[in-house]
């Protein structure tokens, strides 16, 4: 009958005597941080928000809605989609990634401005 190991030693610390210790795992080099990654993850959420607003307006107004608001929200969704596409391209292209990232940032900001302008126009009933 084998004796129980001491209480402060864990089972993982015991290695059979005829087996060598496993080699340490190589440390993988960290991938370079890409600044376009947040835009890549947030842009689809913003597209969904625009589509949700479009559907909500259609339901609230009995299927018709305001034409200019629908058009502005649809254009805004396309801006976010293009921003996500450019952010994806910037993560894949090492040589020209910075240019694509700048374009993604600018288009994302344009989408934010469009969304704010549409929201303000909708709130004050000017569209």
Question: What's the pLDDT score for residue 30?
Answer: 45
Domain region containing 64: 37-124
Residue 16 lies in a domain: no
Q: Is 97:108 a contact under the CB 8 Å cutoff? A: no
Residue 49 lies in a domain: yes
Q: Which residues contact 84 (CB under 8 A, 6 or more apart)?
A: 39, 40, 43, 44, 47, 104
Number of domains in the chain: 1
Residue 19 lies in a domain: no
pLDDT of the chain, 127 residues: tens digit per residue: 566 655 565 555 555 556 666 677 665 544 455 566 787 788 888 888 888 888 887 788 776 666 788 888 889 999 999 999 998 888 888 788 788 888 989 999 999 999 898 888 888 876 5
Question: What's the pLDDT score for residue 109?
Answer: 93
Global model pTM greater than 0.75: no
Residue 26 lies in a domain: no
Residue 14 lies in a domain: no
Q: Is 87:43 a contact under the CB 8 Å cutoff? A: yes
Question: What's the pLDDT score for residue 33?
Answer: 53
Residue 65 lies in a domain: yes
Question: What's the pLDDT score for residue 123?
Answer: 82
Residue 29 lies in a domain: no
């Amino acid at each position: 009958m084998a004796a129980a190991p001491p209480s402060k030693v864990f089972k993982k610390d015991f290695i059979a005597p005829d087996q060598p210790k496993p080699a340490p795992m190589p440390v993988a080099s960290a991938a370079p941080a890409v600044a376009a990654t947040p835009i890549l993850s947030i842009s689809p959420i913003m597209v969904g928000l625009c589509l949700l607003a479009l559907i909500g307006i259609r339901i609230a107004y009995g299927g018709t809605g305001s034409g200019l608001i629908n058009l502005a929200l649809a254009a805004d969704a396309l801006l976010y989609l293009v921003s996500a596409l450019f952010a994806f391209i910037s993560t894949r292209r090492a040589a020209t990634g910075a240019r694509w990232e700048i374009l993604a940032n600018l288009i994302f900001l344009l989408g934010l401005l469009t969304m704010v302008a549409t929201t303000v126009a909708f709130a004050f009933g000017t569209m």
